[in-house]
């Protein structure tokens, strides 16, 4: 496979994987392009490479920056912004983990807290309360685990992961 074909395949696949993770295909493709770029890219380079609109590019770049997996910089004498994807896979993993926890687990814990106080005496309400409390306890443990993972040093995390596999 030629380099350009491999690059297109990687960018397309990362975009499709992103959809499965709950992000837009374009956001995944931009991230993929920045991951494999040897140097920071301008928005215009990203737009040209992916054939996307300026608004779509800027919206997704802003989101990637908010996630902490893309950084924005400038060069002296150049008014353009340059974007670089996080190259450290463990930092990338931790940033995605932190964002997903904030977006998915934290709201679930909040909801479980609210509904765990439901009152009732029918058979259904007992089963409901039991399941909500079990989910709440599991969510608390998952929350603690994810907090611990996100606070671990990259070197320790990678060594431990490699030992496990």
C-alpha torsion sign, points 117, 119, 123, 124: negative
Q: Are residues 107 and 153 in the same domain?
A: yes
CATH of the domain at 77: 1.10.10.10
Among residues 67, 85, 103, the one where a domain terminates is: 85
Q: Are residues 13 and 72 in the same domain?
A: yes
Q: Are residues 95 and 160 in the same domain?
A: yes
Let me know how long the chain is. 165
Give the pLDDT confidence of 111-156 residue by residue, as tens digits.
988 888 766 666 667 778 888 888 888 888 888 888 787 777 766 6
3-state secondary structure of 35: helix
Alpha carbons 19 and 161: distance in angstroms, whole number: 26
Q: What is the mean pLDDT of residues 29-45?
A: 95
Q: Are residues 77 and 96 in the same domain?
A: no
Give the pLDDT confidence of 69-107 residue by residue, as tens digits.
999 999 888 899 999 999 998 888 888 888 888 888 899
Among residues 85, 114, 137, the one where a domain terminates is: 85
Tokens 């770049």 correspond to 61
Strands 41-42, 78-85: pairing is: antiparallel
Q: What is the pLDDT at residue 160?
A: 63
Q: Are residues 45 and 110 in the same domain?
A: no
Q: Are residues 55 and 42 in the same domain?
A: yes
Tokens of 41: 């890219």
Q: What is the pLDDT at residue 120?
A: 66
Q: Are residues 9 and 77 in the same domain?
A: yes
Its domain, for residue 154, covers 89-164
**Total structural domains in the chain?**
2
């Amino acid at each position: 496979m030629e380099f350009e074909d491999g690059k297109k395949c990687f960018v397309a696949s990362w975009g499709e994987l992103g959809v499965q993770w709950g992000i837009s295909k374009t956001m995944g493709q931009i991230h993929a392009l920045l991951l494999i770029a040897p140097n920071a890219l301008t928005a215009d380079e990203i737009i040209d490479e992916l054939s996307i609109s300026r608004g779509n590019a800027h919206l997704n770049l802003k989101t990637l920056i908010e996630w902490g997996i893309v950084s924005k910089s400038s060069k002296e004498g150049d008014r353009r912004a340059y974007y670089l994807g996080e190259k450290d896979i463990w930092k990338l993993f931790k940033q995605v983990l932190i964002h997903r926890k904030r977006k998915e687990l934290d709201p679930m814990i909040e909801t479980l807290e609210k509904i765990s106080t439901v009152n009732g005496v029918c058979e259904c309400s007992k089963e409901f309360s039991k399941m909500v409390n079990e989910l709440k306890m599991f969510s608390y443990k998952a929350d603690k685990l994810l907090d611990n993972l996100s606070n671990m040093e990259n070197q320790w995390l990678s060594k431990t992961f490699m030992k496990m596999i």
